[in-house]
Structure formats: structure tokens, C-alpha cells
Copies of this chain bind each other. A is one copy, B any other.
Amino acid sequence: MVEQQQQVEQPRRGRPRSETARKGILGATAKLLLSQGLASVSMDEVAEHAGVSKATIYRWWPTKESLALEALLDEWDTSPSSPRDTGSLRGDLLALIRPWTRRLRARPYGRVIAALITEAQTDPEFGAVYRARFVERRREPARALFRRAIERAEIPAETDVEIALDLIFGPIYHRLLHGHAPLTDRFVEAAVDSALAGFVAARSKT
């Protein structure tokens, strides 16, 4: 019984927020983002495509970037997919990450993500939101897998999980963002294997 989403259906006064408008805005934003990239999308354009007033957008999202972040999350996670237990950390990680990278390379997400990272670098507040809602969304499930692997003594308890996560996600983001080489399944496996090999090696030293 976690989370206890208090939020007691407090009966708001005045006209309620239009759900149609909300969906229209997020949908139009996602569509425009993927076809043009964030910089080329203007708020006027979003408003027009969503059949909505610009003021309505600004009432609910403070900046274009925060709107883009939510639109991307909304477009992305219809089904957050809880990964099943494959028996090994390697298998669990691949079951988690491979579908994600496949999705990533299916459409030009890299362009939008790069723009969000840029904004995150500039606006610390947005950076916090970006990391919490976007990065951690993949990182936390992976972290859980590591914890489970430690519990069942598959990997050493001293393992620095945060570093391990960076060793896996780092190369993936690298290819996604720099585009110097394709983000293939094989590459994902190499990243996972290498990160895990590090622990094996570390352990064998011990």
C-alpha cells in the first residue's frame, strides 16, 4: 500500500481543465518533435496543430522544453513493461534494455533527447526533472536488477552499481547522440558484457 496518492478529488471551482486540450497538445507536440526536432517547433505551431490557444499551453507547461519532455514520455510509455526474471543478471539487463534501444532507433528520438539534455545543462531545475522522469525511468529498473543480483550473490556486494549503470547506459547514449555508429543489438550486448566482465575481472583479482 505504498504511494497513497492523497489528492482528495477536491472539487475544483470553475471550468474544469479540458482533457481534450491536454491530449491534443501532447499529441501535436510529440508528432512535431519527432518530425522536426525541438528547435524548429514553435509554440504557435503546437497551438495551431492542437487546435488550442497558446495561453492554454503556457498555463500548464512553463517552457517548451518541459512540454517536450512530457510529450515524449507520454508518446513513449504506453506500456512501461515490467521485465521478467530471466535467471541471470545479463539476461535480465538485456531483456530490459534491448527493447528500449530498439524503440530508440525506430524514430529520431536522439535529436529530441539531445535538445533536452542541452536544456538540462542550462536550466538546473529542468535538469532535475529531466533526470528524475526520463533518465531514472530506465536506470531505476536496471538498478533493481543489480540489487537482485547482489542479493542472490551473482555479483559481488561491493559492486558500485552507479558506475556499472553508467558503463552500460553511457555507450548507448553515446551512439544515440553522436551517431557515429549504429546502435545495434550487438553493440548493446557488448556494452552489457563489458560492464559485467568488469566485475568478473574485479572478482577474480580478489
| A residues at B contact (CB < 8 Å) | 37, 39-40, 108, 110-111, 114-115, 117-118, 120-122, 127, 131, 135, 160, 162-163, 166-167, 169-175, 177-181, 187, 190-191, 193-195, 197-198, 200-202
Q: A114-B114, A177-B117 are in contact. Are A194 and B167 (CB under 8 A)?
A: yes
In whole Å, how far is A113's beta carbon from the nearest beta carbon of chain B?
9
The oligomer's copy count stands at 4
Residue among A37, A173, A194 with the highest chain B CB neighbour number at 10 A = A194
In whole Å, how far is A65's beta carbon from the nearest beta carbon of chain B?
11
**What CA separation (Å) do A169 and B166 show in the bound complex?**
11
The 4 closest A-B pairs by CB, nearest first: A170-B171, A170-B174, A194-B198, A197-B201
Measured between beta carbons, the chain B residues less than 8 angstroms from A169 are: 174
Measured between beta carbons, the chain B residues less than 8 angstroms from A167 are: 167, 171, 190-191, 194
Are B110 and A39 interface neighbours, CB within 8 A?
Answer: no
**What CA separation (Å) do A108 and B120 show in the bound complex?**
13
**What CA separation (Å) do A117 and B171 show in the bound complex?**
15
